[in-house]
Each structure stands twice: as structure tokens, then as C-alpha cells.
Structure 1
Amino acid sequence: MGGKRNLCSLLLLALLMSCTNGESPYRFYDWNVTYGDIYPLGVKQRGILINGQFPGPQIESVTNDNLIISVFNSLDEPFLISWNGVQQRRNSWQDGVYGTNCPIPPGQNFTYVLQVKDQIGSYFYSPSLAFHKAAGGFGGIKILSRPVIPVPFPPPAGDFTILAGDWYKQNHTDLKAILDGGHDLPFPDGLLINGRGSNGNTFTVDQGKTYRFRISNVGLTTSINFRIQGHKMLLVEVEGTHTLQNIYDSLDIHLGQSYSVLVTADQPPQDYYIVVSTRFTSQILIFSLDVDFLWSEILF
């Protein structure tokens, strides 16, 4: 009898240890990278799509998650993806930068194995070879805090990603040739939000509730200014760090930067605008979205 009890105790101890030392969750993504027709500024262009999407699919994860991202390159040239702001701890060969990461040959795949260890916040991914970023291939990365770790603000009613930046009507190969010839890029032709120009985007909100907007500058050459007409923005996170919570009417967001703001839908129902404009440029590009602010939804 004593032997059976000891055996049961050992099995229970082993079970508890296995639970305690269990791995963090795994999230699996299968991506196919192709060329396809896009019309971000109303002109047909050859864009880079991921699973047929421009921008690409968003990565949604939680601190310490293991991300297994299998990327199949269906382009006719080598391709790499870089994870802007995501820390590569002892695995720099996963960062998607030429020199530490071998390009994915045409018709081949590569599986990125990343762990978002001790990270939270807003980031994005984008191509890192051959000026492919000028054709697309980018998308958002959201890393939430683990449920046991509190964040310094109440949970928002919704969580939206905004990928904004400058854009050119020229093909990315033409832009690359300009740079390879030792010349500066021309002034951009327009600004995009989530891959769209004047045809806009839609976010649904409820009157009086507070929402989180994750804003990244995914452009090529210019800083941008972001604002929402008639609304204040409470800054709560910058590239994975919770900040002092200051209130702003507008925010300057430089190339590659990502911010999180909280916005409360506390204004009377009427038309408002989300406005993105270039900063520190001799010419000014302004992109505004007509906002139809209703009691139940806000249209961008």
C-alpha cells in the first residue's frame, strides 16, 4: 500500500512540475507572398500581397507567445520580411534583414520562429529587400499583455490598427533604380491609411466609449502628423513601452514608429475628420477621412 501511495505522489509531483514548466502558447501562420493588382491612389499598380491581402494579415499575440510564421515566396525574386521593433533574443537570424537572414528564393519557403518574450505593444512587419516595401507586403503586429499582468489603463471598448504613410504611384523597381542611381526619391504622390487613399476605411464605435488606436508610420520617406478633429488623444504606449499619459491634439509619428492612443467618442454626432499630413517637408500632403459620427458607428 505504501508503495502505491509513493508512486501516486511521484506521479502527482511530475504532473505539477509539467504544468509549472509548460511552454508558452504557440501561434501558427501560413503566408503566401504574391504579386497582385492594387489601386491605393486610384491608379493600377503591381503590389505585393500576403494571402491576397494588402496590407497583409495582422499578427495578434500575447506576451511570451511563440510565433511560427511559414512564408512561401511566390514572387519571381528573393524576398525577406523584417519584424519592426520585435526583439530577437539570441536568434538574430530570424530578424529578416539581409546579412543575418538568408533571402527566401523564388518558389521556396522559410519558417520564422519568433518568441515575443517580455514584450507588449504595437509594431509592424515589412519587406526588407529590393525596395519591396514600396509595393506593400507590410502589416500590423499586436502584442497584448498577459492576463495576470495589469496595464495602466482600463480595457478599451475596441482596439484598432492604423498603418499610415506616404505612397508613390511609380513601381517599386523604378523607385529602386532612382536610389541605385545615387538620386533622392521624388516627393510622394499621396498618403495612405491601411492601404487606402480617398476611398477610406470603416471602424465601428459606440457613443461615449473609449477606443485604442495603434498608429504606425509604414511610409518610405516622410514623417506624418496624425489627429482626429474635435477629439483629444491620450498617449498610453510607444513601441512597446507604457508612457506617461499625456493628452495631445495631434501626434508627430516618424518613419518606423508606432504609438497607441486612447480616444473617447465623447463629441456630439456630426461629421468629423481623421487627418494625416506630412511633416518637415517643403510641400504638404494632407489626407483626411470624412467621419460620419453616429450614435452607433464612426466611418473613416
Structure 2
Amino acid sequence: VIPIPYGYPAGDFTLLIGDWYKTSHKTLQQSLDSGKPLPFPDGVLINGQTQSTFSGEQGKTYMFRISNVGLSTSFNFRIQGHTMKLVEVEGSHVVQNLYDSLDVHVGQSLAVLVTLNQPPKDYYIVASKDFRGPFSLQLQCCTTQTHKPRFLDPCLQLLHSNFIGQCSRQGHIARPNPQGSFHYGKITPTKTIILANSASFINGKLRYTVNGVSYVNSDTPLKLADYFNIPGVFTMDSIQGLPSGGAATVATSVMPVSLHDFLEVVFQNNENTPQSWHLDGYDFWVVGFGSGQWNPHKRKTYNLVDALTRHTTQVYPNSWTAVLISMDNQGMWNLRSAAWGRQYLGQQFYLRVFDPVRSLTNEYDIPSNVLLCGKAVGFHP
């Protein structure tokens, strides 16, 4: 049994934090369809509320599980008068450090331990991004009131939380493996893919692209089209593994990779806003990040010893982030912006992880009762 690398907390609180719009989702969708970006949100809600209270006892330690469930907004999280010990990021234990505040980008989750070592009174729990009014919670130790803290923009807080992360060896110690040891830092990547996001206008409307291609949905699920070999649904040459520099286009874009490839993927962000990327079906090692343009010499800065595994990563403005991925899960997997407006307007594509030799070891057979739609209607499993 591998022990948890921290003591059991006195309490465990979940904070689902996200931006909030007074406008309905249908109106927001219409705005995107008309070629406009999402507007600035009206506020931030924590667990669906503008204000609530958690109670704790002085001297005890509590776990706070924090997730950014919003559409587009990164936020800065902090607890007034207290430091936070970061212990988990998206299910992975990390080297434990203390932070005054942490940025949490769209789609990301983390867990912190907080010891209530201050005099008993109310302390604000704050998630903010330069909004006009405070949206906070109170950690209540007694009834004494405290002053509201200053609210900061996450862009001013990058030094607090651009750590990328190191994996805790105590919580992820290697299990006995009769086939030998597996360590990501000792494996030579089979392929390097560089993905550049951008905002473009196509037919007079705003679209977001990856390597110059803006994704459009097909009326036939891609996995069905792939399984039944249905032509005309997607193409595997519409998106390239390097930025093209050409005019932006739209396509149902799929990038082929082979099962058991070991990929180096570089997210290149040449825009002035932070990005958040998510990959379905996998986690990956976040091995490096930096400002400006990535080039092969940046590999010298990679953490090839104890990098964190996660499935969502941020890319700072005019910067890059590098990840390593072991492609050991056959299927059709979506790689996308975690910001919903960008995803909806095309900042996504699919990775087709495939082995031509069919084997139940790699992938189960399609269910006999699978629902068929689009061009797959009439086919039989």
C-alpha cells in the first residue's frame, strides 16, 4: 500500500469556481455564431454562490479542492491571512510548497492544505480576476469581522504559480515491474508536434485555429467513421504537425499517430492572452515552459526527472509549454482549448491513435447495440 504523502485533514471542502454571465447561454452562443468573442463575465461564483461560509477550528488543517469550472476566465485564489500548501494537481501528488496565492486556469483542478494558525475571526476566501466587486467566501472561526482583501488580476500573479510542478516521489513510488522500469525522461520521442493557436477571420467571422486550421464538427461521429471506413467525414492531412503560416481554413481535422508513439508536443501561444489546453483519454508530463518562441535548444531546460503528470496545462501569453505523451490508448481523442468560446469556434482537433493490427489488447470491439447516426446509419457492427 502506497501511503498518502500528507496527514488526514480535519475537513475536506470542494470549491467549484467559475465565471458567471447574466446573459443566457443561447445569447452567448448567438454572439459566437455572429463572429464575436465571449464578453467579459459579470462575476465569479464559488459553488454557485456569491457568498457562503466554511467553518473551521483554530489550529487544525483542512483540505480545499479547487476547480476552475468556468467558460473562459483564469482566476487567482487565496485565503486571507493564510498560506496554502499545494499537495495535488489533477490527481497527481506534487512536491509540497507553500503559496500565498495560486492561479487556476480554465479546466484545471488542484488541492491545498490550509492550517488555521491565525487568531479566531472571519477570513475571506477569494477568487478574483479584476472584477468590480468582491466575490468571496468566509472561513469562519468566530464572529469577529475582518477587512476585505485587495483583489488582483491573475496576470499580475504569474510568479506565484507558474511552477509547472514536480511529481512527489513519495506518493508515486514505482511499483515492481517484471518488464523493466519505465521513465519518461529516458525515452526518445518518436515525433515532435508544434501547435500554434491563433485568432483569424474566415468569411468575415472570428474563428480560432490550431496551425491555421479551425475545426468544424461532422454530423457523423469520427470514431464511427473511422471504424466503418466511411469516406468524406474527416481527413488526416488537413492539419500538419507544424504551424503552416498560410491562410486560415476550416476542416474536420484529424492528426494521425501510431499506437505506442512517444510524442513531444509543444504548445506555442503567440497571443496576448493565456491559453489552457486539455487532452481527452490521456495524461502527460509537463516538462518545460518559457517565454517567446520554442526552439530545439529549449530542450536543455526540460525537467526529465520528476515532472508532473496532468491532462490540462496552461500556456502563458507569448510563451510556450512542452509536454511528453505516451500514446498507449488507442482511439480518437480530442485535443482542445479548455476555454469554451475558443473551442466552440474551432480551437481543437482529434488525434487518431491507431494500430492496423486489430487486437482486444489495444481496443475492445464496438458494442453490438451502438447507436448509429449520420453516414453510419445502415452499417452493422
TM-score using structure 1 length: 0.45
Normalised TM-score (structure 2): 0.36
